[in-house]
Amino acid sequence: MAYPKTYRYTKDHEWIDVKGDVATIGITDHAQHELGDVVFVELPKPGAKIEAGKSFGTVESVKAVSEIYAPASGEVTEANGDLHNTPEKINSDPHGAAWLIKVRLANAAAVSSLMDAAAYEAYIAEKGKETSA
Amino acid sequence: MEPTTTSHTSALRKTALNALHRSLGAKMVNFGGWDMPVEYPSSGGLIAEHKAVRGSVGAFDVSHMGDIRIRSGAKPGGALAAVQHISMNDASKLAIGQAHYSAMLYPEGTFVDDVIVHRLGEDDFLLVINAGTREKDINWVRENTKGFDCVVEELSDAYTQLAIQGPRAIDVVQRLTDVDLSGIKNYWFTHGTVCGLKNTLVARTGYTGEDGFEIYVPSDVATSEKVWKQAMEAGREFGIVPCGLGCRNTLRLESKMALYGHEISDKINVWEAGLERYCKMEKGEFVGRGALEKAKAAGLTRTLVGIEMVDRGIARDEYCCCNEAGEKIGVVTSGSPSPTLGKNIALAYVPPAYSTVGTALYVEIRAQKCKAQVVPTPFYKRAKKAAAPRVS
C-alpha cells in the first residue's frame, strides 16, 4: 500500500495529515500489518487534549494491545465513530476511511519535523532488514 | 504503536521449517525462546486461520514441543513404574497405542508441566512436553526417575511435529498415509508410512478442540519441508492453510485447554486448575500426591472460571478481576476475542464464592472496571456427529 506523499509519519507508525491548523491522525499500513486483525479501538472524546509523543488511545488486535502515540499536540475535534463497530477497517483502509481522530493543532509547524513518506518507507525497510536477519 | 514481531533472531531456536515459514511471509515471534510463526498474512491472518481449523482444516508446525522417551531397563515394568511416579494420570490404564493428558507435579502439588503420555510399548513411553519448559522438564524427569530401572532419553530435536487440525484433517492426512485413520480413536495413535516415511508416529491428538492428527517425522529440513508441502497439496481442495501460534492460542482457549505459565504453573495446584479428571489419587504414590491430599482437605481458595465480557473491552492476561464492591478478587490467566463466538472471553482465577455461572465480575482494563460474567466452559465444544462422508 502506498504511503500518501502529503502525510507525515512517526517512528511509532502513526500518520498525520495537516490541513491548515486541523490534522487527521491514523496508524500506518505497516502498523496494521504488524498488528494483524484489529478487533477493538479506544479513542479520546472531542475536547480531549493530546500531547506529542504521549499515548492517546489503543488499538487491539486479537493477540495484543497497542498504544497509539500522538504525532503532535492539540485538542481532539472528532473521533472516528465508525471504528467502534467496524475496527477491521483499520486493516483494509488505514490511510483513508480508518482515520482515528481529528485534532486542532497547538503548533502546526512542529509537524514538519516528522518523517515524510520517503523517509518513513526507508525507515520501515531498514526495520524489515533487521527482522529477516 | 510498538513493534510486535521478532527483530533479532540469532539467539532464538528454530524448527526445521523456519526458512519455509519465512518464505511464506509468516509473522515470527519469540515464543519461549523459539522463533515461531504467530500468523500468516498469506493465510488471511489469525482469524481466518482460526476459522479454517473450526470449519475445515489447518496445519501447524509444533516442532518446538519437547519429547521424552522412557523405556524399561533390564527388567520389564521399570518404565511404567517411573511414569506412574512422575505423572498424575494412571499410565497403567494405557493400552499400547493409547495416549492421555496428564501433568508432572512438584512435591507441593503444583505444575512442572502438562504432558501427553503415549504408550509406545509395554515398557516404552513417549512424553510430549511444552517448548518453553523443555530443559526444566528433562532435568526434573531425570532427577525423579533415578530410583527406577529405566532409560530416559530426550528426543525433542529428533522430530518435526506437524499438527493437522480440523473436521477435514482426517481427509487430508488419509491422503498421506497407508494407515486406515478411521480406525484410530481420539487420543490413540499408530505407526505407519506417511509421505513414504516408514514407521511414522501418527496420533489423533491436538490442542485446538477439533478432531485432528499430529505427525512426528525426522527433523532434517528436506524431510520436514517435503512432508509439509505434501500436506498442503493434499489439503488444497479442503482449503487447508498454514496456521500460527496465534490461532493455536485462541483455539485452545475456546476449548478451555490449559497453557503452561497461564492456567497452570509452579504456583497453581491441580484442584485449582480444575484438572482433577486427569489426576488419579487412587493409583498410589506419585510426586505431589501428599500435598494434593492436604490441599483437598483444606479446600479451595481459588478456582479457574470462564468469563465473558458484558461491557465493551477485552480482558487480557494478568488483568485484575474485581467484585461488585470494587475489591480485587482474582486475575485473568488468558483472555482474547473468541473468533468462533464473536465475544470477548477469558479464563480467570477467582475465589469459589464467585465461580457460579452468571456471577457478575469486573475486569480492570486500563483503570476502568468493565463488567463481565461467569459462563459455562468450555466456551466452545465441537458437535459430536456421525462420521462425515469421506472423500477418497
Residue B353 lies in a domain: yes
Residues B1 and A12: beta-carbon distance below 8 Å = yes
C-alpha cell read off for A120: 518513513
Q: What is the model's pLDDT at position B392?
A: 45
Is B12 in CB contact (< 8 Å) with chain A?
A: no
The C-alpha cell 473436521 sits at B167
Contacts (Cβ under 8 Å, ≥6 apart) of B48 = B241
Question: ipTM higher than 0.95?
Answer: no
Q: Which residues of A touch B22 (CB under 8 A)?
A: 132
Residue B102 lies in a domain: no
C-alpha cell read off for B15: 524448527
Residue B110: DSSP 8-state: B
Minimal-distance CA residue of chain B relative to A54? B1
Is B4 in CB contact (< 8 Å) with chain A?
A: yes
Residues B200 and B112: beta-carbon distance below 8 Å = no
Residue B115 lies in a domain: no
Terminal C-alpha separation, chain B:
49
Residue B185 lies in a domain: yes
Is B9 in CB contact (< 8 Å) with chain A?
A: yes
> Could you give the dihedral angle defined by the CA atoms of residues B198, B201, B202 and B205, in that order, rounded to the nearest 10 degrees?
-170
C-alpha cell read off for A37: 486483525
The full DSSP string for B140-182 is HHHHHTTTSSEEEEE-GGGEEEEEEESTTHHHHHHTTBSS-GG
Minimal-distance CA residue of chain A relative to B3? A34
Q: Cβ separation of A12 and B47 shorter than 8 Å?
A: no
Residue B270 lies in a domain: no
Residues A83 and A93: beta-carbon distance below 8 Å = no
CA distance B58 to B43: 10
Is A36 in CB contact (< 8 Å) with chain B?
A: yes
Burial of residue B63 (CB within 10 Å: 0-12, 13-18, 19+) is buried
Q: What is the model's pLDDT at position B249?
A: 98
Residues B377 and B256: beta-carbon distance below 8 Å = yes
pTM here is 0.94
Residues B349 and B304: beta-carbon distance below 8 Å = yes
CATH number of the domain where residue B317 is located: 2.40.30.110
Residues B175 and B306 in one domain: no
Residue B286 lies in a domain: no
Structural domain of B328: 300-375
Residue B204 lies in a domain: yes
Residues B215 and B329 in one domain: no
Residues B304 and B196 in one domain: no
Residues B217 and B350 in one domain: no
Is B7 in CB contact (< 8 Å) with chain A?
A: yes
- The predicted model gives B116-125 an average pLDDT of 98
Among B6, B9, B246, select the one facing A63 at the smallest CB separation. B246
Residues B322 and B249 in one domain: no
Q: What is the model's pLDDT at position A127?
A: 82
List pLDDT tens digits, range A25-47: 999 999 999 999 999 999 999 99
Which CATH topology does A8-132 take?
A: OB fold (Dihydrolipoamide Acetyltransferase, E2P) (2.40.50)
Which residues are registered as beta bridge partners of B70? Answer: B125, B152
C-alpha cell read off for B271: 484442584
List pLDDT tens digits, range A58-93: 999 999 999 999 999 999 999 999 999 999 999 999
Residues A16 and A25: beta-carbon distance below 8 Å = yes
Q: Cβ separation of A39 and B249 shorter than 8 Å?
A: no
Number of domains in chain B: 2
Residue B7 lies in a domain: no
* B 79-108 near A (Cβ less than 8 A): none
pLDDT band for position B7 (cuts 50, 70, 90): low
The residues spanned by each domain of chain A are 8-132
Q: Which residues of B touch A61 (CB under 8 A)?
A: 46
- When scoring A43, A63, A129, A131 by the number of chain B Cβ atoms within 10 A, the one with the most, hence best to mutate, is A63
